[in-house]
Amino acid sequence: MADDQSPTDEHGDVGLTRRAWLAGGTALFGSGLLAGCLGGGNATGTPTGETPTRTDTEADPTATATPTESVTSTDDSSTQTDQQDGEEDAGRYSVSMAPMGDVTFEETPEDIFTIMSPYAEMALALGRGEDVNAVYAVEYTNSLLNAFTPVLDGVSVDWRDCYASWNPSTEKLYDLDSDVHLADPAHVVTMGKWERTDVADVAENVAPWFGNTLSATHAEPPASYAEDYAYYTLWETFGHVASVLRERERYETLLAERHALVSTIREGLPPEDERPSVAMVLPSTADDTMWCYNLNVPGYHAAHTRPLGATDAFADLDSGTQIDYESLLDADPEMLLVLGGVVDVHDMPTIRETLADDPVAGAVSAVQNDRIHPLGTRHQGPLVNLFQLEMAAKQLYPDRFGAWPRYDSGPYPDLSADEQLFDHERVAATIRGDRER
């Protein structure tokens, strides 16, 4: 499963390695500004085996087309070309993506089941947030999206009543009776309750599966899916989902914003020898340790840091390695990026104060220079990816992209138009379904 491209390719993402499929659709703009659920319990849900103190859920749980839908694709989403014959939203259609292969839909899905938050976020970005009925780590996901959506006029999120879908039961999926399960069947069979036969039964009797979660880290798929698996970038996966939901126009507009943003970043990057050493960390809420995560590795968990080309202070450690303050001082990063820093469960002033008051951590260059900044999550969909690219570019390179305002709490800062690295209003208008953009 080796990657066949550089981790920092033209658009900052790693292309798919074994297949390049995308069956396109058409867009019918509609409502769906308030993201809500159709039912389900209020439980938040916690992945089996996740360390309880990692409260921002950063732990890794571990085309054939009908004549009305045809898209060609190479190994990067920037080259996807929609080839419609003018017939919109008509009848049966198929979309292909590994590991599912061809997936056929009789009509556009309405009720949307998700597990991992990037897929719920994709539905939101495509104007379908209110149709999501399930999401993993409900309270956290709701808090995460509400850190960013307040600066998108007319876009809001409330997934508090969604079913907490980590390791769901087959009975619950029958009960929800969704029209599509935006979840990776290969990932589902690693959760402990599921066999491939169970996945097939749900696909046949309820609704298809459609997702590719292992692309997040290029993790090895289970043996039963190994021959069918391929890796995609975040935005390639988003394009496939857009085809399933027949929201290609929204997707293409958001993709254009993403490409413009990455182009701006690439043009403004300083020479490599002038870039800071950075540690992306998740502080423990129980003791003086933290988990460190790689900046420049393949997979969409690094889609917000890889295009920035910073020096990874912990490049020699595996993502998710737990370290203490002595290890942090040994690496001595010039900047700390704190995962979960914009989410309710983490408090940036307390994190800064705790580090500064410790005799070991206080000697770290990032602490002494007060360069401790918040991020959201590695578990990002397209909207969070846009915002995290913007905020991290400003945090790492203030002389090139404008300074990031000091953040203590609350939602994403409301940057003026000339401070934005992408067009926030165009993104909001796209989600709202406004044609005048």
DSSP for 274-301, please give it: GSPEEEEEEE-SSSSEEEEE-SSSSSGG
Residues 319 and 378 in one domain: yes
pLDDT the model gives residue 91: 87
Percent of the chain at pLDDT above 90? 76
Residues 286 and 406 in one domain: yes
Confidence category of residue 77, pLDDT binned at 50, 70, 90: very low
| φ, ψ for residue 164, nearest 5 deg | -80, 105
pLDDT the model gives residue 435: 63
Residues 253 and 276 in one domain: no
For residue range 159-216, what is the model confidence (pLDDT) as tens digits? 999 999 999 999 999 999 999 999 999 999 999 889 999 999 999 999 999 999 999 9
pLDDT the model gives residue 35: 52
The DSSP bridge partners found for residue 398 are none
**Considering 257, 282, 301, which residue would you say is the last residue of a domain?**
257
Residues 240 and 338 in one domain: no
pLDDT for residue 158 is more than 60: yes
Residues 274 and 148 in one domain: no
pLDDT the model gives residue 345: 79
**Considering 197, 228, 257, which residue would you say is the last residue of a domain?**
257
**Considering 227, 257, 287, which residue would you say is the last residue of a domain?**
257
The overall average pLDDT reported for the chain is 84
The CA-based diameter of the chain, rounded to the nearest angstrom, is 67
Residue 168 lies in a domain: yes
Describe the crossing of helices 382-396 and 234-244 by its angle, rounded to 10 degrees.
160
CATH of the domain at 353: 3.40.50.1980
User: Could you list the residue range(s) of the whole structural domain that residue 133 is in?
Assistant: 34-257
For residue range 253-306, what is the model confidence (pLDDT) as tens digits? 999 999 999 999 999 999 999 999 999 999 998 899 999 999 999 999 999 999
* 212-235 mean pLDDT: 97
Residues 251 and 274 in one domain: no
Residues 246 and 104 in one domain: yes
Using DSSP, state whether 101 is helix, strand or coil.
strand
- d(C-alpha 33, C-alpha 157), whole Å: 8
Total of domains in the chain: 2
- d(C-alpha 390, C-alpha 420), whole Å: 8
For residue range 335-379, what is the model confidence (pLDDT) as tens digits? 999 999 999 878 999 999 999 999 999 999 999 999 999 999 999
The DSSP bridge partners found for residue 323 are 290
pLDDT the model gives residue 57: 37
pTM of the predicted structure, to 2 decimals? 0.84
